[in-house]
Structure 1
Amino acid sequence: MVCVDWISEGADTQHRKRQVRKSLAFFGTRLTAWTVAVAIASAGLPVYESSAQVVDPVADIPSLVGVKPILPDVSAYIRDPIAAQQLGKALFWDTQVGSDGQACATCHFHAGADIRTKNQTDPSVRNTVVALQNIFDARDNNAGIAGPNKQFAALDFPFHKLADINNRESSVIFDTNDVFSSQGTYAGDFVSGGRSLRQDLLTAFLLKRNVFRGRSRSSEKCNLTYSPFNPNTNPSGNPFHANGLIYRKVEPRQTPTTINAVFNFRQFWDGRANSQFNGVDPFGPRTFTPLDPVTSAGNPNAAGAGILVPSGKALVITKPLIDNASLASQAVGPPLSDFEMSCAGKTFADLGAKLLPMRPLSTQVVHPQDSLFSKTPALIPSSSQTGLKTTYKALVEKAFFPKYWSSPGWFNVDPATGAITLDFVKGHTQEEQNFSLFWGLAIQAYEQLLISDDSPFDHGPAAMNPQAVAGLAIFEGKGKCVACHNGPLLSGATVTSLSTESPKAIEGMLMGDGRPGIYDTGFYNIGVRPTSDDIGVGALDPYGFDLSFTRQFKWRLLNQKNKSVDRFDSRPCEFATPIFTPCDNLPSLTDPASAPRDSVDGSFKVPILRNVGLNPPYFHNGGQATLKDVVRFYNRGGDRRGPLDSDTTGLATPTPFGVVNHTNLDPDIGDASATSTNNALGLTDEEEDDLVQFLLSLTDNRVACHSGVFDHPSLPIANGELDVAKAKTQQAKDIVVTLPAVGQQGLKVCFPNSGDLFGTLNTTDTRRLQDVFNQVIK
């Protein structure tokens, strides 16, 4: 049972401040279903306060050594776990998989993230103010001008500059709503390579003779039309088209690391990658929920969504939901995104048709001592060759049970009705149709290996320098960092084998303005940017459902359960009695405005802090280039503007419940009890430096050195473009750099654990990324 403890508006402030983060949920089940019991403070409902004694739940941050993630049960799908891991690693690093040479690793090549500095700007396409979505701001350095494909310099950071770095209300001397992220594809519209009817008929004949299954559609084309954005003459244009050239698009949020991501309960900054993998896309049970004509929420193509499996002599659609598989949910998002890895209109069946006959990593070097591929020596070619000595088809069929790929024929699935028909011309094989399942589970199997548990911090104070030890005390005390960055991963959004209870779906506390609110566990608004720039977990998914568990819970209170599709059950709890006493039925509300206040707009998932010294820049907008600037941000109480009861963490637009939240501020940002509007932590410069040293002690040297499970094939990467076109196109020509292949012994020179985007190996803006790579080749 889950109970959400509700704190009344009149609760003692010190009572609230003594809590590291008051646990508002108690679970008796393990990770498969949740029961949420909420005592609500709102019109017509009582205010409940816990009669239990409040105790500080975090005495120490534990080591990660020996701590295991909660893994999904995939035994019904995967028959050879090693083959699945090898398939996942190949798919992750292979530049053949995406359009325009994009691999998953293109944006996650270093410490699970990205340290490129050219063409890494998004103009704020997630801004709630439409007029601001496609407008690039000028950089702050002297050479900075507006537009795509610009080179960042250290002087461009932070993105919000103040006359007094310790006073959030001091004069603003520079501000931009642009986002630092990762460049992706040129986009365009997908055109299948296809095959001639003659080839199809020949393949059909051979198939009946049991010679082989499948066919090759290894080519693809993306049709591109130059259409630059202009707010007056072409408001639907593309902001990455400029000066007669088409540049690679840049994603709208900073790239999070894949390392240790297996511990996240939900993935992505906004949590949209569901903990239940549906085999199709990131959205779990939402994808299988039919469109409701009353609420306009739901998937109009729910009937055709799912996985094809044999039933007798026919294929039928099944709708799996694999628990604790958010990594797989995340993995199936980027391959079809026209920001990240694809041109628009491609399907996973198209991707499968392209890849299955291909040799994995065929243009990339694989190190003979690769930690994963070397487990099967026959996979690795001689030193003079590239790629693996197999095909993706062979790897899929080795890793997965035949029921998911062995049915003969080509099929078309009607997305609206789910009808399955034979189609020898435009259809896809079962193996191609199910490629999203193979992709998600294989990449998940690989990423589950990427656990970094060998940092100085993990070996105790004796392995840390004195500054880091002092910084730990500040982290757990005066800095209040541990309120959100707790547990062995230093993130409240994670779940580990240390958890004796199921994950918390919803919590409640007094917010920054001293009034109660409920919110998604592990998601907070800390005032990085005005909430209007990006509403985070307060947004809707593509099917019209709230990403936020909190808002789904409120729809249940209003008897609109068709708007709440994620898997958790709700029961109210009376905290005047012992907390595990059975609860009464859920109260029923009729007025949306009477539902409890939610604080979810502008909230983002608490990132894992391990290896944070290797992962600049910081925050969801990438707006801080150094850990020192991050600490200064917290010391001044964030970058929000305005008084506590009405600041830029609020949103002028009403919530779906018709209420305007003037603030959504996490109360642990600054000192909410201070009389000054500054609400600073009051850290000295020395304390700030100590805190930075502690954060640097969280780095596992294997990650910095790309050794052990963190090794990889070579990887060509676009590091921005030249302002000239490729031959016979309007695409800007890539500046290509190559990350060398490395085996489990790692690099000769490791990447710096500096906590600075422009530190050490990347000290000057003119130095090419290839020069950095050349220094670390073994």
Structure 2
Amino acid sequence: MAGALLVIGLPVASAWAADPVVVEPAVPSVPDVPTLQSLRGLLPPDPSGTEGGRKVDLMTDYVLNRPAAVLLGKALFWDMEIGSDGSTACASCHFHAGADHRTTNQINPGQANTNANVSSIFNKPFTASDIPGDVPTYTTKSGGKGGPNYQLKKSDFPTHVLANPLDRNSAILFSTDDVIGSQGVFDANFVKPHQARFDKCVQQPDGIFQVGGINVRRSTGRNAPTVINAAFNVRNFWDGRANNVFNGFSPFGNRDPDAGIFVTSDRSGVATKVRLALKDASAASQAVGPPGSPVEMSCGGRTFADIGRRMLDTL
């Protein structure tokens, strides 16, 4: 009983002299936090939604052979021929615990910066002048040169340093708008599927990702996140890409008004474009982005139809 005094095994004379022991109310037990291993065997969210008021299920409406689809997805993840250069796969940026642990040529100059005067300048501090043409010799946190083909060091991190890490308003000791991204492909324009190993592309001078006038692989504006358990995320990117709703075409879900898939009728054989909204499919939304990206995997101007022709060896 709460508040009761409990005296155990003491003589009467000393019982009154002893400090009373208060029995506290029983505290409900807190369930153990599930470990990563406990997630094994659990099925991912059901990737289903509605289309025109009709319930749509990916596994019954659009996939004729689920085991074959699973095997195909795993094979495509590791297939370097999806990349225009014949050496870039999805796994190129996601093979180390599902993420990218490479440390050379991984810096993006902060191309997402809304100020065009600084978005292409490596090592540009946030606090520096934004005057066009102001390109002094900035360095990384370790004093390194930075830029294309730079070998990152542990002392280059973090890229934003405060005098007091617990006070966001404290003095900034070091800061840069550069992003540690993931290197992809060279700057080139697509011509046609050339042969089984790589596409025919024409390289063009890259004013940003080059060393001494020689192009190097371009680097993305964000580091490749891990793909492990990514299927359980509502959204894999904060900016709306890798949307929870898969539209069958792009990473933007219902935000893409032109997205859709073509469905043929068994009777007419005519393909009709319809909207698709598969819920809990963020990983699927993300998967359709990199293969056509001129930074990540593709030569500029290459379409999914071109990728399909390459994979089928139909030149």
Band of TM-score, shorter chain: 0.7 to 0.9
**Greater radius of gyration (CA):** 2
- Number of equivalences: 256
Correspondence for 1:93 among 78, 98, 101:
78
Superposition pairs for residues 43-442 of structure 1, below 5 Å? 61-63=33-35, 65=38, 67-72=42-47, 73-74=57-58, 75-100=60-85, 101-137=87-123, 138-142=139-143, 144-165=144-165, 167-193=167-193, 220-228=199-207, 239-287=208-256, 289=257, 299=258, 305-310=260-265, 312-357=268-313
Q: How far apart, in 2, do the equivalents of 1:122 and 1:222 lie?
A: 23
| Cα separation, partners in 2 of 1:117 and 1:62, compared to 1, 3 Å | same
Give the drift of 1:265.
1.4
Q: How far apart, in 1, do the equivalents of 2:32 and 2:109 lie?
A: 41
- Residue 96 of structure 1 aligns to a residue whose secondary structure is helix
- Does the Cα contact within 8 Å between 1:141 and 1:156 map onto a contact in 2? yes
Q: How far apart, in 2, do the equivalents of 1:319 and 1:218 lie?
A: 34
Give the drift of 1:248.
0.8
| Cα separation, partners in 2 of 1:62 and 1:192, compared to 1, 3 Å | same
| Cα separation, partners in 2 of 1:193 and 1:169, compared to 1, 3 Å | closer
Give the drift of 1:223.
1.4
- Residue 328 of structure 1 aligns to a residue whose secondary structure is helix
Give the drift of 1:186.
0.7
Q: Deviations over 1:590-621 (max 9, x none)?
A: xxxxxxxxxxxxxxxxxxxxxxxxxxxxxxxx
- Does the Cα contact within 8 Å between 2:187 and 2:204 map onto a contact in 1? no
| Cα separation, partners in 2 of 1:172 and 1:274, compared to 1, 3 Å | closer
Give the drift of 1:78.
1.6
- Residue 191 of structure 1 aligns to a residue whose secondary structure is strand
- Does the Cα contact within 8 Å between 2:106 and 2:182 map onto a contact in 1? yes
- Residue 82 of structure 2 aligns to a residue whose secondary structure is coil
Q: How far apart, in 2, do the equivalents of 1:322 and 1:163 lie?
A: 47
- Does the Cα contact within 8 Å between 1:218 and 1:357 map onto a contact in 2? no
Q: Deviations over 1:179-201 (max 9, x none)?
A: 1111011131111137xxxxxxx
| Cα separation, partners in 2 of 1:60 and 1:353, compared to 1, 3 Å | same
Q: Deviations over 1:129-161 (max 9, x none)?
A: 22221110121224x114211010111111122
Q: How far apart, in 1, do the equivalents of 2:104 and 2:219 lie?
A: 11
Paired letter, 1:91: L
- Does the Cα contact within 8 Å between 1:281 and 1:332 map onto a contact in 2? yes
Give the drift of 1:63.
4.3
| Cα separation, partners in 2 of 1:340 and 1:227, compared to 1, 3 Å | closer
Q: How far apart, in 2, do the equivalents of 1:315 and 1:181 lie?
A: 40
Q: How far apart, in 2, do the equivalents of 1:227 and 1:118 lie?
A: 18
| Cα separation, partners in 2 of 1:247 and 1:106, compared to 1, 3 Å | same
The CA RMSD over aligned residues, in Å, is 2.6
Instruction: Tell me the equivalent position of 1:379.
Output: none
| Cα separation, partners in 2 of 1:141 and 1:161, compared to 1, 3 Å | same
Q: How far apart, in 2, do the equivalents of 1:285 and 1:167 lie?
A: 39
- Residue 101 of structure 2 aligns to a residue whose secondary structure is coil
- Does the Cα contact within 8 Å between 2:193 and 2:306 map onto a contact in 1? no
Q: How far apart, in 1, do the equivalents of 2:202 and 2:263 lie?
A: 30
- Does the Cα contact within 8 Å between 2:192 and 2:199 map onto a contact in 1? yes
Give the drift of 1:60.
6.3
Give the drift of 1:307.
2.0
What is the percent sequence identity of the aligned residues?
A: 45
TM-score (norm 1): 0.31
- Does the Cα contact within 8 Å between 2:81 and 2:198 map onto a contact in 1? no
- Does the Cα contact within 8 Å between 1:218 and 1:355 map onto a contact in 2? no
Give the drift of 1:170.
4.2
- Does the Cα contact within 8 Å between 1:256 and 1:268 map onto a contact in 2? no
Give the drift of 1:350.
0.5
| Cα separation, partners in 2 of 1:217 and 1:110, compared to 1, 3 Å | closer
Q: Deviations over 1:256-311 (max 9, x none)?
A: 11001111112224232222222211122333x3xxxxxxxxx4xx6xx5324245
Paired letter, 1:340: E
- Does the Cα contact within 8 Å between 2:193 and 2:309 map onto a contact in 1? no
Superposition pairs for residues 744-763 of structure 1, below 5 Å? none
Q: Deviations over 1:300-346 (max 9, x none)?
A: xx6xx532424514333233222222221110011101111111111
Q: How far apart, in 1, do the equivalents of 2:279 and 2:181 lie?
A: 30
Superposition pairs for residues 760-771 of structure 1, below 5 Å? none
Give the drift of 1:352.
0.4
| Cα separation, partners in 2 of 1:132 and 1:60, compared to 1, 3 Å | farther
Q: How far apart, in 1, do the equivalents of 2:166 and 2:234 lie?
A: 35
- Does the Cα contact within 8 Å between 1:91 and 1:97 map onto a contact in 2? yes
Paired letter, 1:356: L
- Residue 329 of structure 1 aligns to a residue whose secondary structure is helix
Larger strand proportion, structure 1 or 2?
2
Q: How far apart, in 1, do the equivalents of 2:270 and 2:65 lie?
A: 26
- Does the Cα contact within 8 Å between 2:292 and 2:298 map onto a contact in 1? yes
- Residue 81 of structure 2 aligns to a residue whose secondary structure is coil
- Residue 264 of structure 2 aligns to a residue whose secondary structure is strand
Q: How far apart, in 2, do the equivalents of 1:140 and 1:63 lie?
A: 37
- Residue 161 of structure 2 aligns to a residue whose secondary structure is strand
- Does the Cα contact within 8 Å between 1:338 and 1:344 map onto a contact in 2? yes
Q: How far apart, in 2, do the equivalents of 1:312 and 1:218 lie?
A: 37
Paired letter, 2:45: I
- Does the Cα contact within 8 Å between 1:107 and 1:114 map onto a contact in 2? yes
| Cα separation, partners in 2 of 1:173 and 1:283, compared to 1, 3 Å | closer
- Does the Cα contact within 8 Å between 1:306 and 1:318 map onto a contact in 2? yes
- Residue 76 of structure 2 aligns to a residue whose secondary structure is helix
Larger helix proportion, structure 1 or 2?
1
Q: How far apart, in 1, do the equivalents of 2:308 and 2:290 lie?
A: 15
- Does the Cα contact within 8 Å between 2:82 and 2:89 map onto a contact in 1? yes
Q: How far apart, in 1, do the equivalents of 2:114 and 2:33 lie?
A: 38
Superposition pairs for residues 585-596 of structure 1, below 5 Å? none
- Residue 220 of structure 2 aligns to a residue whose secondary structure is coil
- Does the Cα contact within 8 Å between 2:187 and 2:205 map onto a contact in 1? no
Paired letter, 1:334: P
- Structure 2: gaps of 5 or more residues: 1-29, 48-56, 124-138
Superposition pairs for residues 692-731 of structure 1, below 5 Å? none
- Residue 173 of structure 2 aligns to a residue whose secondary structure is strand
- Structure 1: gaps of 5 or more residues: 1-57, 195-215, 229-238, 290-298, 359-425, 427-778
